[in-house]
Structure 1
Amino acid sequence: MSASKVDPSTAHLALPFFDDAHRELARGLLPWAAAQDVDERDDRAACRDWVKRLGNGGWLRYCVPAAFGGALEKLDSRALVLLRETLAFHSPLADFAFAMQGLGSGAITLAGNASQQAEYLSAVARGDKIAAFALSEPEAGSDVGAMAMQAVDTGTAWRLDGAKTWISNGGIADFYCVFAKTDPNGGTRGITAFIVDADAKGLDTSERIEVMAPHPLATLRFGACDVPHGAQLGELNGGFKLAMRTLDIFRASVAAAALGMARRALSEAIAHAKSRRMFGQTLADFQLTQAKLGDMAALVDSAALLTYRAAWMRDEGERTGKPFGDYTAAAAMAKMCATENAQRVIDMAVQMHGGSGVQVGMKVESLYRDIRALRIYEGATEVQQLIIGKSVLRG
């Protein structure tokens, strides 16, 4: 018995974190996601396919506000969480494609002027333009202030020089939200954001990065890449705060992606335990198996509650116009626990499958590779620990 077409439980939709709009979203998404069949052997072609399908299905409308073709008045963290959890359950690459449309255009939603929003956001919602977020550099990952890429005002344009790396959708994106130093001595207070179209002269996106779970990643190289003054995104030297605000919206959704993968691993483990026979009984009849499944279920549910709480806190803060508790710490807890718990759940699912668990083509084998990066990107577990620890010390 395979869990390949089994939907995750909808029991969590009854929790008070969600309202009727979220429940309607989830119930519509579940059958749609289960019905998709995408050839993912070529990750770049598959991502393009997923973006088009997600756009045609109306799901990318949750990545932008209603004023530009979005489904809701403003970006809603709980909607993003439900979407990413369900997509990741069925296909981590589908989740990736969806998430990058939101993250890659999020800075334009938050800080773009009217013409920038009109040009890019509606196209993102339709799936007509693929978005990317270019922040990390070879020597500036978690330490954003160490950014070396420069943007110099030549009088007629902004000239960008430097490199960005580990850029998701690198090489297939239609535009990049790029962060560069406009004050070389300003640290995090000297960074400005720019929108750079993929066909900009002086931008080379050809250097691919191959990773253990195929995703379209690339190093971007900017050599005297001139963009018009109108490409500046948000305030001069306000790029660091803009990047952090963008990441804050999506951090809880990273936890949701891990949660979706963990739910899928648990479903695969249950299906395998019920069908695998040994010593005259099924694997599920052994108490040790039941204990492992109990551990896995508890890890999944604890991660779910932290994830839903963080998304709800962010949305409540948006609704009331003032911070609702320490959302940053709550999002860090969700991201840390969901990704670490998912790694443990998937590892136990692989172990429960025995030899077949490491066979290429088995779902638990691909999940084992897929989950590993989530403990690193958008703030590694160690960074989340620091955020939480500082919050605790502040009281």
Structure 2
Amino acid sequence: MPRPLPDLATAHHVLSVLRSSVDQAAAALAAQCTVSGKLDARKLDALQVPSFELAWAAAELLAAENAISLLRPDSRDLDRQLALLFAVDAATSVLARLDAIALDVDLPGDALRELRDDPRWHELRRAASDSRALDAAGDAVLASRGDLGILPLDEPHALAQDSFRRFSEEVVAPLAEEIHRENLTVPEALLQPLREMGVFGLSVPEPYGGSAPEDKEDALLMVLVTEALSEGSLAAAGSLITRPEILTRALLAGGDTQQQAHWLPKLAAGDPLCAIAITEPDHGSDVAGLTLRATRVPGGWKLDGAKTWCTFAGKAGVLMVVARTDPDRSLGHKGLSVLLVEKPSYDGHAFVFRQEQGGTLTGRAIPTIGYRGMHSFDLAFEGFFVPDANVVGGAQGVGKGFYYTMAGMVGGRMQTAARACGVMRAALRAAIRYSEDRKVFGQPLAGFPLTRAKLARMGARLAACRQLAFHVAGLVDQGEGRMEASLVKLLACRSAEMVTREALQLHGGMGYAEESAVSRYFVDARVLSIFEGAEETLALKVVARSLMERALGVQGSAA
């Protein structure tokens, strides 16, 4: 029998000590990275390694704090077991990350030394994560069938979750293997019913034909729908919503009334489908350094240059293209604009579109190990004409493209975290089924303590990520949570790699076979830490920088 679970006061104490230490680490790093009271880019780059550790410590700690905060006297034993297990694993990781940061900056060590020697910390570790505790938690995860991280939903959200989970299981999942193995484009058999369900209009306000409230966001609905569809297939369903949301946000942020009236109803109807062309071969996540040229000509602009990793560019009928409309490269992001490129829809892996005006747009799908179905394209623009009417914001929008693009990034990161949760849930459920069915050495795989320990940690990570995604969605709906959206994206995407890896491992040789769905989950999960802000860029340029800026703000106000 496992030990009785400790009083939650112990977990709160441990996390409180770590919170104080992480804040001190942010302040210490900020102090070393400032010049005249402002963060200096060169100094920040010199301390990328401890900054990366700081970002990860913040992500893990926030998830642990949130998981523990949700526990109530009447919480299920399973919820309590998994929250405490994740808190212990997260605290252990945060301690190691603080040690790594201390190699480069001076940190007060008394509190951490006291924590490491505190009998309460050792008792918490034993009670939540010794072999008996893991065995009990693993048994509970098996019995749960992977239904973890549950939070109460109001009726509209609960109905939406149920509806899209059912669609994902009955319609998406049966097509997912063929789409992946044959490298097909997402078929109309999926796209048309999703149009009818209104999935492309979730971020479009109701007056324009969507389902989003006029006066606020509904990030929670987006998270629930994205997670449900991703459980069936990341590439064939779970990622369909991201692109229309980013373009919708850009139009709402900067589009004029005519552009909004023209494009938003079309986006809500999923006709045309859209794609986002931001990344370039030489710039990756460095949006400010983009070089695709937009040259002024009578009546509009001509595009010359290349984009890469433009997902769904073949099937899409409109591309949101971020281009440099001011040739002065020293302007950085202030020289960028958003142009809407209209084109025919193509089902294949390559296309050439020649305009009557003489311009050409060429696309070629990039072969990838996973995330097949939507296909990411290399694009080449040669004298491609875009009319003035298709510059988001018109004349007033020239040079503001970076800001319009960033308007959709919070939602995109929240969706990516939800996609990660959907893939994790699918992988855990597959691992549960297989471990119960597969017999080795005379008994089911699930009968072995190591199997149950793996399932316990997989379940704890899934539950913590789902709960944090729901929490941050609530913040976003209140107009907050920009940095927290980056934190949950960071954590959930890496967690998806870990959970799908363990799920595949539990399948043994069958997990490595393409006929097994878990092999698809594994290769699909790998892309999540790369797009919507690569893990390194997100950690360094968004999370760590934001933490240091907050630390400087606290110091400044105190002074």
Aligned to 2:87: none
Q: Does 1:337 align with 2:513?
A: no
Aligned to 1:320: none
1:24-54 CA deviation, whole Å, 9 max, x = no partner?
3212222222221435255553255432221
Q: Quick one: which amino acid aligns to residue 84 of structure 1?
A: T
| Mapped contact 2:281–2:306 kept (Cα < 8 A) | yes
Q: Which runs of 4+ in 1 moved over 6 A?
A: none
Distance change (3 Å), C-alpha of 1:168 and 1:228: same
Distance 1:368 1:10 in 2: 20
| Mapped contact 1:54–1:98 kept (Cα < 8 A) | no
Of residues 341-350 and 212-221 in structure 1, the stretch that sits farther from structure 2 once superposed is 212-221
Aligned to 1:172: 315
Aligned to 2:364: 207
Aligned to 1:135: 278
Q: Quick one: which amino acid aligns to residue 204 of structure 1?
A: L
Q: Quick one: which amino acid aligns to residue 502 of structure 2?
A: M
Q: Does 1:388 align with 2:543?
A: yes
Alignment counterpart, residue 97 of structure 1, candidates 234, 240, 243: 240
1:120-166 CA deviation, whole Å, 9 max, x = no partner?
22222222211111111111221111111111222322122111111
Aligned to 1:242: 404
SS in structure 1 opposite 2:365?
strand
Aligned to 1:85: 227
Q: Does 1:260 align with 2:422?
A: yes
Distance 1:153 1:65 in 2: 33
Q: Quick one: which amino acid aligns to residue 286 of structure 1?
A: F
1:282-317 CA deviation, whole Å, 9 max, x = no partner?
111111111111110111112112222222111111
Aligned residue runs from structure 1 range 181-200, under 5 A = 181-185=324-328, 186-199=331-344
Gaps of 5+ in 2: 1-143, 345-353, 552-559
Aligned to 1:149: 292
Distance change (3 Å), C-alpha of 1:385 and 1:11: closer
Q: Does 1:230 align with 2:365?
A: no
Larger Rg: 2
| Mapped contact 1:171–1:218 kept (Cα < 8 A) | yes
| Mapped contact 1:77–1:250 kept (Cα < 8 A) | no
Of residues 72-81 and 345-354 in structure 1, the stretch that sits farther from structure 2 once superposed is 72-81
Distance 2:467 2:230 in 1: 17
1:205-252 CA deviation, whole Å, 9 max, x = no partner?
332211111241111211111111111103111101111111122211
SS in structure 2 opposite 1:219?
strand
SS in structure 1 opposite 2:407?
helix
Distance change (3 Å), C-alpha of 1:42 and 1:97: farther
Distance change (3 Å), C-alpha of 1:100 and 1:178: same
Distance 1:261 1:246 in 2: 23
Distance change (3 Å), C-alpha of 1:383 and 1:150: same
Distance change (3 Å), C-alpha of 1:304 and 1:230: same
Q: Does 1:23 align with 2:158?
A: yes
Aligned to 1:58: 198
| Mapped contact 1:51–1:98 kept (Cα < 8 A) | no
Deviation at 1:7, TM superposition (A): 9.0
Distance change (3 Å), C-alpha of 1:391 and 1:337: same
Q: Quick one: which amino acid aligns to residue 27 of structure 1?
A: D
TM-score (norm 2): 0.65
Q: Quick one: which amino acid aligns to residue 434 of structure 2?
A: H
Aligned to 2:185: 45
TM-score (norm 1): 0.90
SS in structure 2 opposite 1:340?
helix
- The alignment's C-alpha RMSD in Å is 2.1
Distance change (3 Å), C-alpha of 1:245 and 1:272: same
Of residues 257-266 and 54-63 in structure 1, the stretch that sits farther from structure 2 once superposed is 54-63
Aligned to 2:209: 69
Distance 1:249 1:208 in 2: 26
Q: Quick one: which amino acid aligns to residue 191 of structure 2?
A: V
Alignment counterpart, residue 476 of structure 2, candidates 283, 301, 314: 314
SS in structure 1 opposite 2:463?
helix
Q: Quick one: which amino acid aligns to residue 85 of structure 1?
A: E
Gaps of 5+ in 1: 1-5, 318-323
SS in structure 2 opposite 1:204?
strand
Q: Quick one: which amino acid aligns to residue 222 of structure 1?
A: F
SS in structure 1 opposite 2:240?
helix
| Mapped contact 2:149–2:464 kept (Cα < 8 A) | no
Aligned to 1:34: 169
Aligned to 2:50: none
Alignment counterpart, residue 366 of structure 1, candidates 520, 523, 548: 520
Distance 2:191 2:146 in 1: 22
Distance change (3 Å), C-alpha of 1:101 and 1:7: farther
Distance change (3 Å), C-alpha of 1:259 and 1:21: same
Distance change (3 Å), C-alpha of 1:254 and 1:145: same
Q: Quick one: which amino acid aligns to residue 344 of structure 1?
A: M
Aligned to 2:88: none
Alignment counterpart, residue 285 of structure 1, candidates 447, 455, 460: 447
Of residues 18-27 and 65-74 in structure 1, the stretch that sits farther from structure 2 once superposed is 18-27
Aligned residue pairs total: 379
Distance change (3 Å), C-alpha of 1:221 and 1:7: farther
Distance change (3 Å), C-alpha of 1:29 and 1:132: same
Of residues 196-205 and 332-341 in structure 1, the stretch that sits farther from structure 2 once superposed is 196-205
| Mapped contact 2:149–2:467 kept (Cα < 8 A) | no
Distance 1:336 1:294 in 2: 21
Distance 1:334 1:126 in 2: 30
